[in-house]
Amino acid sequence: MPSGAIWRSSIRRTSAVFSSSAGLVAALVLLAGPAAAQQRAVVSGRIVRTVPGDTVPAPGVRVVLHRIGQTVQGAIDSLRTPADGRFRFGLVRDTAALYLVSARYGGIEYFSDPISLDSTATPPALTLLVADTSSTVPVDLAGRYLVIGAPDPQRHRTMVDLFVLRNPGTVTRVARDSMTPLWSAVLPAGATSHRVAETGSEVSAQAVQFRGDTMLVFAPLSPGLKQLLVEHLFPAALSQVSVPLGEGAAQLQVVTEEPGVIVTGAGMRRAESQVIDDRPLARWVGQGGRGGALELSFPGPGRNETPMVVALVALMAGGLVAGAWLGFRRRLAGGPTRR
């Protein structure tokens, strides 16, 4: 994934973390729309299983159609796929709702992207990938993106940490057992708290544990990329923070709101600033090698100001809707989100 696209995606997703009203905004955007129409609609597609260099139909898979409406959410129909892996659901079109399809394979629940029926057209047939599982497929870090806010009125500084986990194989990586994580990372020391962001993370908080400064990930990781968004809270009086890079990352990027922050280590270099709401956000880019660290130096105890990143929420309606449906998806799955 290109660095620019990752950066724009990380800004969209991380902005919601800084706004207490983000959930409300997402709900309002999600629920806005015309009253439900009563035309019939069709949701169709195919379930395929990944194999080296190709995909093959997945027969006998239970497929469920879910509806996310203004007042009611839940499963509305289900079937098992025939030999060709195809499925087809007929339903009453609700233009004020979103729909999604899930398929359970090998003990893992896989979900489609949300489907909107806001016109009389039939949505395109979708393809949902499922995979066999393995506890030995390697997982690496395709990218890591840090967004650091200015001190808030409570004298805290928030760091949003976006990990882009990559499963380069053709099978879903699962943990060996309930006690052994499939991936872990050492987090910056000195934080008063760490937590998985409620909005924007593609890994459920239920599948992540924090033990001191170490984060343990137990969620299954399907082939491809998955974003894990973590929020760290630091005292504003802290003048330096070291961010261990562990096994390293193919791409690194640091964005700071507060003027005067200095970023060193991992070959980081200044990049063009990102201007939001007529104010520049300083950026550094680089590549993290094994065992390295980023060193962040802050200008004194920091000023008592409201972080400007709250203003980003107004620009991120699409990202907020995505966060809202991810929350619905977790509830429908009844546990950690798997995709």
Write out the DSSP string of 133-199: EES-S--EEEEEEEEEPPP-TTSEEEEEEEEEEEE-SSSEE--SBTTB-SEEEEPPTT-SEEEE-SS
Q: What is the pTM of this model?
A: 0.74
- What pLDDT does residue 131 have? 95
Confidence grade of residue 314 (pLDDT, cut at 50, 70, 90) = very low
User: According to the model, what pLDDT value does residue 332 have?
Assistant: 42
Range scoring the smallest mean pLDDT among 61-75, 206-220, 248-262, 295-309: 295-309
What interhelical angle do 3-15 and 317-333 show, nearest 10? 70
Lowest mean pLDDT among 10-24, 157-171, 240-254: 10-24
What are the domain boundaries of the chain? 3-21+135-328, 29-133
What does the alpha-carbon distance between residue 227 and residue 13 come to, in Å, rounded to a whole number?
10
Q: What is the token pair recorded at 5?
A: 């696209």
pLDDT of residue 95: 87
Q: Name the pLDDT band for 121 (thresholds 50, 70, 90).
A: confident
Average pLDDT over residues 60-76: 92
When pLDDT is averaged across residues 265-288 and rounded to a whole number, the result is 84
Residue 70 scores a pLDDT above 70 = yes
Four-way CATH pick for 3-21+135-328: 2.60.40, 1.10.287, 3.40.50, 1.10.10: 2.60.40
Per-residue pLDDT band at 210 (split at 50, 70, 90):
very high
Confidence of residue 301 (pLDDT cuts 50, 70, 90): low
Q: In the CATH hierarchy, which top-level class contains the domain 29-133?
A: mainly beta
Closest among 151, 161, 150, 148 to 255, alpha carbons compared: 148
pLDDT digits (tens, 9 = 90+) for 159-206: 999 999 999 989 999 999 989 999 999 999 899 999 998 778 889 999
Q: What is the pLDDT of residue 83?
A: 98
Between 221 and 318, the more confident residue is 221
Tell me whether the CATH fold assigned to 3-21+135-328 matches the one assigned to 29-133: yes
pLDDT at 122: 87
Mean pLDDT, to the nearest integer, of 247-253?
A: 87
Residue 38 has a pLDDT of 63
In this predicted structure, what is the pLDDT of residue 247? 83
The answer on pLDDT for 211 being more than 90 is yes
pLDDT at 321: 34
Q: So what's the pLDDT on residue 316?
A: 33
φ, ψ at 313 (rounded to 5°): -60, -35
Cα distances from 233 to residues 16, 154, 161, 219, in angstroms, run 16, 11, 11, 24
User: CA 186, CA 166: separation in Å to the nearest integer?
Assistant: 18
pLDDT of residue 307: 52
Which residues, including other chains, have CB under 8 Å from residue 122's CB and lie 6 or more apart? 41, 42
Q: With 90 as the cut, is the pLDDT of residue 284 above it?
A: yes
Determine the straight-line distance between the first and last CA of the chain, rounded to whole angstroms: 18
More confident residue, 199 or 263: 263
Is the pLDDT assigned to residue 258 strictly greater than 80? yes
Calculate the average pLDDT of the chain: 80
